[in-house]
């Protein structure tokens, strides 16, 4: 069971193997780090702990350089719970925290998190203005009782797997390539919200989800699946603002092709898999034209999902 911690819950009492990062998307490079953390924790009889930031520090500290996120917080927590680490510390934006010098940061790991072993990628930078690097972490670490273990780059087709590459691919709708770097299908965990019921009027009822406004995912129509309570349903998905119906807000709308599922708005969470990008969202001349297009989308989705199973 992964316990979620916030800064207010510190210090913790048990000694840990720890790692630090944004871990946006939890890609194959990240997973290698997490695996190492868990392996060493088991061997040394320590707890495994991940420190992650939400929102991405760049979003607040350097918004011009911040682009978008691969997953929302709910999905990130879900992914870490599946990894079954002992503790996930979520650091929400906090000016004091981000102003810690590299030295103070290492002392924070030691004192508040009882970190004995620190696992990070060899390019890891940390502390105010990213002043600390691996060499510095090793030097200071050894003097305060933290063993620092750097991990070599994890690559795919000879280039380093990175969140920024995945962000770029997602924003182009290139899901096959994204899947290869994530080592899984791309999905989001989202809360069910209320739509305005027009879907029912046009004959294609939709489950509405309100995504964060900084998702990298390309807007448009997708083939996918919806999962709820371990059941999987075939779906067509529209991620956009419904220009034909003068929609203003952006939703992820999921239309189930063959089944219905009972969901409570503002309460239930669902898992939505995005399998293949079909087309851009369009402003149609009439609702009739939109309906005809959705029928074609469904036809296409059935063909795709015959071949593309959920895992």
Ligand X SMILES: Cc1cc2nc3c(=O)[nH]c(=O)nc-3n(C[C@H](O)[C@H](O)[C@H](O)COP(=O)(O)O)c2cc1C
Ligand Y SMILES: Nc1ncnc2c1ncn2[C@@H]1O[C@H](COP(=O)(O)OP(=O)(O)O)[C@@H](O)[C@H]1O
Binding site for ligand X (CB under 6 A): 195-199, 202, 204, 206, 208, 221, 236, 238, 242-245, 253, 255, 281-283, 290, 294, 297
Under the criterion CB under 6 A, does residue 9 sit at the interface with ligand Y?
no
**Cβ distance 274 to 307 under 8 Å?**
no
Which token pair is 235?
A: 């779906």
Query: Which residue number is nearest to ligand Y in terms of Cβ?
Result: 121
Which token pair is 276?
A: 């293949």
Q: Which one of 37, 110, 121, 224 is in contact with ligand Y (CB under 6 A)?
A: 121
Which token pair is 307?
A: 């071949």
- CA-CA-CA-CA torsion sign (69, 280, 287, 269): negative
| Cα-based distances in Å from 282 to 142, 238, 243, 279, 285 | 59, 11, 7, 9, 10
Backbone angles phi, psi at 18, to 5 degrees: -125, 165
In the complex, least distance from residue 96 CB atom to ligand Y, rounded to whole angstroms: 20
16 binds, among ligand X, ligand Y, none (CB under 5 to 8 A by kind): none
Query: What part of residues 32-51 is at the interface with ligand Y (CB under 6 A)?
Result: 33
Which token pair is 37?
A: 């953390």
Q: Which one of 161, 209, 216, 252 is in contact with ligand Y (CB under 6 A)?
A: 161
In the complex, least distance from residue 272 CB atom to ligand Y, rounded to whole angstroms: 23
- The smaller minimum CB distance to ligand Y, of residues 53 and 273, is found at 53
Q: Which one of 42, 82, 129, 160 is in contact with ligand Y (CB under 6 A)?
A: 160
- The smaller minimum CB distance to ligand X, of residues 7 and 287, is found at 287
Nearest C-alpha neighbor of 116 from the set 145, 140, 136, 150: 145
**Cβ distance 38 to 48 under 8 Å?**
yes
Backbone angles phi, psi at 296, to 5 degrees: -65, -40
Length of the chain: 311
291 binds, among ligand Y, ligand X, none (CB under 5 to 8 A by kind): none
124 binds, among ligand Y, ligand X, none (CB under 5 to 8 A by kind): ligand Y
Residues that bind ligand Y (CB under 6 A): 21-24, 29-30, 33, 120-121, 123-124, 151, 153-154, 160-163
């Amino acid at each position: 069971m992964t316990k979620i911690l916030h800064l207010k819950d510190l210090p913790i009492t048990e000694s840990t193997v720890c790692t630090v990062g944004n871990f946006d998307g939890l890609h194959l490079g990240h997973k290698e780090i997490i695996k190492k953390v868990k392996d060493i924790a088991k061997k040394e009889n320590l707890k495994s702990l991940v420190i992650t930031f939400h929102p991405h520090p760049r979003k607040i500290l350097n918004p011009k350089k911040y682009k978008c996120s691969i997953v929302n917080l709910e999905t990130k927590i879900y992914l870490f719970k599946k990894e079954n680490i002992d503790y996930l510390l979520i650091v929400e934006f906090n000016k004091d925290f981000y102003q810690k010098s590299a030295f103070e940061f290492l002392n924070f790991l030691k004192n508040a998190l009882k970190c004995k072993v620190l696992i990070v990628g060899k390019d890891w930078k940390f502390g105010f203005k990213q002043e600390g690097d691996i060499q510095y972490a090793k030097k200071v670490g050894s003097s305060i009782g933290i063993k620092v273990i750097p991990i070599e780059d994890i690559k795919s087709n000879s280039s380093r797997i990175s969140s920024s590459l995945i962000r770029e691919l997602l924003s182009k709708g290139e899901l096959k390539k994204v899947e290869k770097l994530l080592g899984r299908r791309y999905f989001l965990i989202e809360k069910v919200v209320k739509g305005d019921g027009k879907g029912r009027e046009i004959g294609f009822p939709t489950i509405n989800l309100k995504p964060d406004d900084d998702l990298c995912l390309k807007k448009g129509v997708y083939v996918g699946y919806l999962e709820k309570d371990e059941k999987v349903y075939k779906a067509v998905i529209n991620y956009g603002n419904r220009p034909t119906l003068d929609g203003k807000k952006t939703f992820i709308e999921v239309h189930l092709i063959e089944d219905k599922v009972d969901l409570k708005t503002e309460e239930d969470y669902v898992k939505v898999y995005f399998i293949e990008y079909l087309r851009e969202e369009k402003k149609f001349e009439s609702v009739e034209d939109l309906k005809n297009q959705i029928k074609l989308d469904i036809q296409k989705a059935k063909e795709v999902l015959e071949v593309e199973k959920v895992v």
